[in-house]
């Protein structure tokens, strides 16, 4: 159950910037008047800042929550190849932003977001979230001696396969791991 909830959270974190871009582009600030009429004069940029802050806080929460995932490791002798994956996801995220910029109404946003959410949830690379970069995490594909390619999210700089030792990984699924060793 924990993995299911965690995957939902990671999927939402990975796709939530679409919502932020949509609400900013369409100039939809938080309706402060629902709280109190005293808040009617709050500038729109405060709402937009809060919109952006929410995915950051949820990303931080998901990083903290990772400590409750199952433990795993990748042994030094099993790493054959390492490849940085940060730039591989840039076209996808640019696509998300262009989609968000082209959506004109909330009904379409809900429909498109739901489709992206479902596809992202069931993909093997759903855990790429550019906000992890703010927390100094990097993304790598590691190929093991069994020819299995896994996705690792870590703060370490992984360059040489012969020097990679990841004894404190947290397993998200069979192909995605968080390195929680500092």
Instruction: Report pLDDT digits (tens) over 26-68.
Output: 999 988 877 777 878 889 999 999 999 999 999 999 999 988 8
DSSP track, 26-67: TT----GGGT-GGGTT--HHHHHHHHHHHHHHHHHHHHHHGG
Asked if 127 contacts 14 with a C-beta cutoff of 8 angstroms, the reply is yes
> In the numeric block, which tokens belong to residue 110?
């809900």
pTM of the model: 0.85
Structural domain harbouring 21: 2-179
Helix residue spans in the chain (DSSP H):
2-15, 17-25, 44-65, 90-102, 106-122
Q: What is the number of domains present in the chain?
A: 1
């Amino acid at each position: 159950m924990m993995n299911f909830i965690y995957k939902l959270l990671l999927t939402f974190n990975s796709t939530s910037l679409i919502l932020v871009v949509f609400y900013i582009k369409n100039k939809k600030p938080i309706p402060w008047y629902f709280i109190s009429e005293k808040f009617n004069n709050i500038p729109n940029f405060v709402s937009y800042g809060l919109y952006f802050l929410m995915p950051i806080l949820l990303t931080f929460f998901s990083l903290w929550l990772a400590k409750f995932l199952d433990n795993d490791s990748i042994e030094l002798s099993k790493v054959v190849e390492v490849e940085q994956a940060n730039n591989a996801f840039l076209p996808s995220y640019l696509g998300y932003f262009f989609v968000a910029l082209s959506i004109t109404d909330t009904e379409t946003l809900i429909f498109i977001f739901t489709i992206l959410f479902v596809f992202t949830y069931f993909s093997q690379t759903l855990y790429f979230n550019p906000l992890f970069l703010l927390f100094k995490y990097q993304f790598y594909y590691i190929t093991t001696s069994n020819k299995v390619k896994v996705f690792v999210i870590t703060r370490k700089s992984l360059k040489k396969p012969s020097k990679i030792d990841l004894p404190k990984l947290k397993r998200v699924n069979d192909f995605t791991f968080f390195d929680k060793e500092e």
